[in-house]
Amino acid sequence: MNLEAHHLNIKTAFLNGTLDEEIYMKAPDIFNTGKDNVWQLQKSLYGLKQASHVWNKLLDSMLRKLGFDRFSKDTCVYLYRSTDTFIILAVHVDDMLMVSNSNSKLAKMKLALGQHFKVKDLGEVNFLLGIRVVRNRESGSIELLQQAYIDQLLKHFNLREAKPVTTPLSSGVCLTQANCPTTDEEKLDMANVPYTSLIGALMYAAIGTRPDISFAVGALSRFLSNPGRHHWNEAK
């Protein structure tokens, strides 16, 4: 349908919500008079347990006022529909992807959102949540890439010089509990190995753009509680 797809970001999103609870915080040292000064919070603050919930509740209320309906099956997706135009809006915390068949309606909705929040208009979507979006309108194709994210992982885990392989897991590899540490010495050897961190990072890639590694990541994730060197080597 050759739809318009734009990326928006809400600045300092969590600071917008109004708290229902009575919450106090210790005054910062620069404002402290030497007594046990505390402040009552009127607005949400980054670091509060309910900050994301308060923000989501406020955003949901505002989008409904602007004419959006929330999907029951995926509550992060909203739909605005008029006689001949529509806008599909997907939310990820403070990032939004707006897709529409009308450029003018899209612009008006951005202005409407800007009256309530500090909105950063990033224009046509190019890079979203670590995923690069390459669009070719002539061929009608959209390509999703996580090359920058994967390069960052290679650098973080010191694997930039690693040789590529043809399959995600070695041929004939067998992952069992027999490979898990059993002695105190083996457990100590694995204590500082960032196995959980690597598997979590790989899961994001598998969900985003690399379904080809899903089976391998799923198999390796079964040993998160007590991974051994064999599991670590296969993860790398």
CATH code for the domain in which residue 94 is found: 3.30.70
14 and 119 fall within a common domain: yes
137 and 55 fall within a common domain: yes
Tokens of 43: 């607005």
Domain end: 118, 144, 170, which one?
144
At 163, the pLDDT band (50, 70, 90 cuts) reads confident
103 and 12 fall within a common domain: yes
137 and 160 fall within a common domain: no
Range of the domain at 207: 147-235
Residue 120 within a domain: yes
> What's the average model confidence in pLDDT over 83-105?
95
160 and 122 fall within a common domain: no
pTM: 0.79
116 and 230 fall within a common domain: no
Q: How many domains does the chain have?
A: 2
At 32, the pLDDT band (50, 70, 90 cuts) reads low
> What's the average model confidence in pLDDT over 76-84?
95
> What's the average model confidence in pLDDT over 156-185?
87
42 and 128 fall within a common domain: yes
Domain end: 81, 113, 144, which one?
144
